[in-house]
Structure 1
Amino acid sequence: MPAAVAKPIKESRSFAGLRELFAARIAVLDGAMGSMVQTHKLTEADFRGGEGGRLASHPHDLRGNNDLLCLTRPDLIEKIHADYFAAGADLVETNTFNATSISQADYHTESLVAEINTAAAAIARRAARAAEAASREKGESRRRFVVGAIGPLNRTLSMSPDVNRPEYRAVTWAQVVDAYAGQIRALISPAPDTDGEPGVDALLIETIFDTLNAKAALFAAESVFAETGVRVPVMVSVTITDASGRTLSGQTVEAFYNSIRHARPFSVGINCALGGAAMRPHVEELARIAECPVTCHPNAGLPNAFGGYDETPADMARILGEFARNGLVNMVGGCCGSTPAHIRAIAGAVSKLKPRAIPTRHHDLRLSGLEPLNIQ
């Protein structure tokens, strides 16, 4: 029996648009979704779709399942996207940070994963088209992009949740890959009016604290690309958890980059956990070594005693503007605690600054454990 012939994989049209954007100037990503949702003080009824809503009789509490709002409060999610576009964002992330079967299991809503992701992509796409139409009315021609947000999961492949059983894992590699593949398949499924193009322009595997989880997401993405015959840009963003300069699973920035470099990400960056000032040395390190665009979307500082964030729009704009002036970044935005006001200030701060020049690196052997090992 002849061997199966692999389906050729073509690049989506969004590759060209994103390459053009990143070559022309520093791109601007949106800000936080979760903390913006929290400002609306939603009730359990909102998450269920109101009285008589489709989830009115769901047997488990749903409040806090922000991804579910793509089905029950799409108006709110679209308004948040629209506000970020109006503030100057070039790209917004779908409201799908926890939209995998593993994360949704906490709410007993695994069966809704595909629907949540396709709805999220459609909501963000509507906001993008509205923003593009508004820019045309002003005599501009500015494309807006939709990025499928892929979070780190609430289970980890590298660490045991039981201190007495270091070998134990709450989840397997196959389960993580399957969960990510289900999400990615839904995010890139073509909408009826997109001429067969994927529902999102790119994927962002973000807030990575466990590199093995990230590698499972990258593997899942490649599997879905092979299955569908279409590839979209894949962005990667890691989280440095504290002043040690390491991820939660123990890797340094360079070790992390060595671990995922083989996947040829469209961009690599750092987000969450820290404010921009504390990220500076880690962004500098990544800017030195990455052979692709570097991104940075920090928190609006560290949470205060009341769970809020104290960095003002001017604070974040000053810090990220400094990163830009020093040639460290190709895309900036905000994470937890950031708002459209923060994004407007950040966009203004970087609007006339050149993007980081991507260095050419020697093709050395680059390995990693917790530390990098580079052999020339």
Structure 2
Amino acid sequence: MLTKKKIYILDGATGTVIQDYHLSEKDYTDNNYKYIGCHEILNKTRQDIILDIHKKYIEAGADIIETNTFNSNSISLKDYGLENESYFLSFLGAKLAREAVENSKKEILVAGSIGPTNKSASISTSKSILDREIDFNELFESYLIQARGLVDGGVDLFLIETIFDGLNAKAAVIACEKVAKENSKKIPIMISATVNKNGKILSGQDIKSLITSLDRDSIISFGLNCSFGAKDLIPLIESLNPYTDKLLSVYPNAGLPNENGEYDEKPQITLEYLKKLIDNKKINIIGGCCGTTPAHIKLISDYSKNYLPREINFKEINKFFLAGNLPLEDNKNFYLIGERNNVAGSRKFKRLIEEKKYEEAIEIAKEQIENGADIIDINLDDALLDSKRSLKYF
């Protein structure tokens, strides 16, 4: 579907472009309820605008257009009382993008946009590490409904984007794989995270670690989007080359927003930054996020036509990769494995697990790490324990 022979152009922002239409509450209204700010409801109430945005990006040279479904999961839609509309709004978003492609008569792929939701499965909400905003199964079920709507609406790809929590992303990946299997299809998945200037997502995980922990056969690309603009994303993208044999993507914001929340970075400035990746064959997929417009995409598209994409160096990439919050570098002859988190090998650890004192049990792992362990071996297999439940909490 996506080859390694060209640079693919992804479209630009949807949300900030919608603002240029100066919509009123009436545009977001359905059955006398007002949903202003919920851009996904426009898939139902103002289909003409969504089609117009897709058309403009196609004319600008996009090879891949995203559905207007970033927040069409039940978790995010709950803020508007629309949680039961997840499937329908996802279906409509995909259907509109497919219609725009068919009207254009060009070979363009439709990527089903799947945002991170407004909840985190990894970040605790109190002093207790066990308190989370949402659990994995809730996320999985929510993404499952969204993915079904996207597939039934006709997407070619899934784009799980703006990832700030690796556990959220895993739930989305597994849900997408399940839906593809239900439909007896191979539907590739694109992965894109948003990071700080140190290359870490909000949950604290390094982007290289995220790639290591998410990599599966279903995934066709890894990359970065949103964040703080192209200038500071470029060195992070360049550093990812040895970590994956998948395509690399980047679609940055048009710089940082000003005091009014508007983006001032002109298309030519964005392109000037991105030229470094294009000229040096460091990228496979390139586009824009918040603040970018069809004008940004046209300049990027016109310039990229004359250049070849990133080439994958398999000799450099075929390494031993493990990761937690940080990647475990492949630069040692021996790795130290901490084995005291084992109910069969440590009476203290077993007692703490039996008493459900998980936070105290974690201290044993911390101590081993402080003493030099590279890898932690965990074993909670015991006839008198509910091992599956205990392992989940630990």
Q: TM-score range by the shorter chain?
A: 0.7 to 0.9
Q: Do the aligned residues in 1 keep the contact of 2:234 with 2:274 (CA within 8 Å)? A: no
Structure 1 match to 2:271: 317
Structure 2 match to 1:69: 42
Structure 2 match to 1:159: 123
Structure 2 match to 1:294: 248
Q: Deviations over 1:338-365 (max 9, x none)?
A: 0001111111121100000022155443
Structure 2 match to 1:27: 8
Distance 1:297 1:363 in 2: 27
Q: Tell me, which stretches of 5 or more residues in structure 1 are unaligned?
A: 1-14, 49-54, 133-141, 192-198
Q: Do the aligned residues in 1 keep the contact of 2:187 with 2:218 (CA within 8 Å)? A: no
Q: How has the CA–CA distance of structure 1 residues 122 and 262 changed in structure 2, closer, same or farther, with 3 Å as cutoff?
A: closer
Structure 2 match to 1:328: 282
Structure 2 match to 1:146: 110
- SS at the partner of 2:228? strand
- Structure 1 residue runs of 4 or more that deviate by more than 6 Å after TM superposition: none
Aligned-pair distance for 1:375? 4.4
Structure 1-normalised TM-score?
A: 0.85
Structure 2-normalised TM-score?
A: 0.81
Q: State yes or no: 1:38 paired with 2:24.
A: no
Structure 1 match to 2:292: 338
Letter aligned with residue 70 of structure 1: N
Q: Do the aligned residues in 2 keep the contact of 1:104 with 1:113 (CA within 8 Å)? A: yes
Q: Do the aligned residues in 2 keep the contact of 1:364 with 1:374 (CA within 8 Å)? A: no
Structure 1 match to 2:182: 227
RMSD: 1.5
Distance 1:144 1:43 in 2: 32
Structure 2 match to 1:11: none
Aligned-pair distance for 1:295? 0.5
Q: State yes or no: 1:369 paired with 2:329.
A: no
Distance 2:250 2:319 in 1: 26
From 62, 65, 90, give the equivalent of 1:92: 65
Distance 1:206 1:315 in 2: 24
Q: Do the aligned residues in 2 keep the contact of 1:290 with 1:359 (CA within 8 Å)? A: no
Letter aligned with residue 166 of structure 2: T
Distance 2:169 2:232 in 1: 23
Q: Do the aligned residues in 2 keep the contact of 1:253 with 1:285 (CA within 8 Å)? A: no
Alignment length (residue pairs) = 330
Aligned-pair distance for 1:264? 4.6
From 149, 153, 177, give the equivalent of 2:140: 177
Q: How has the CA–CA distance of structure 1 residues 333 and 108 changed in structure 2, closer, same or farther, with 3 Å as cutoff?
A: same
- SS at the partner of 1:149? strand
Letter aligned with residue 206 of structure 1: E
Distance 1:226 1:122 in 2: 21
Structure 1 match to 2:345: none
Identity %: 38
Aligned-pair distance for 1:371? 0.8
Aligned-pair distance for 1:101? 0.8
- SS at the partner of 2:263? coil
Distance 1:363 1:278 in 2: 28
- Spell out the pairing of 1:240-319 with structure 2 (5 A cutoff): 240=195, 242-319=196-273
Q: Do the aligned residues in 2 keep the contact of 1:318 with 1:349 (CA within 8 Å)? A: no
- SS at the partner of 1:148? strand
Q: Do the aligned residues in 2 keep the contact of 1:300 with 1:338 (CA within 8 Å)? A: yes
Distance 1:110 1:360 in 2: 44
Q: Tell me, which stretches of 5 or more residues in structure 2 are unaligned?
A: 332-394
Structure 1 match to 2:31: 56
Structure 2 match to 1:186: 149
- With CA pairs under 8 Å and 6+ residues apart, which has the higher RCO, 1 or 2? 1
Q: Deviations over 1:106-155 (max 9, x none)?
A: 101112111111111111111111222xxxxxxxxx41111100001001
- SS at the partner of 1:218? helix
Q: State yes or no: 1:103 paired with 2:89.
A: no
Distance 1:44 1:166 in 2: 41
Distance 1:374 1:164 in 2: 31
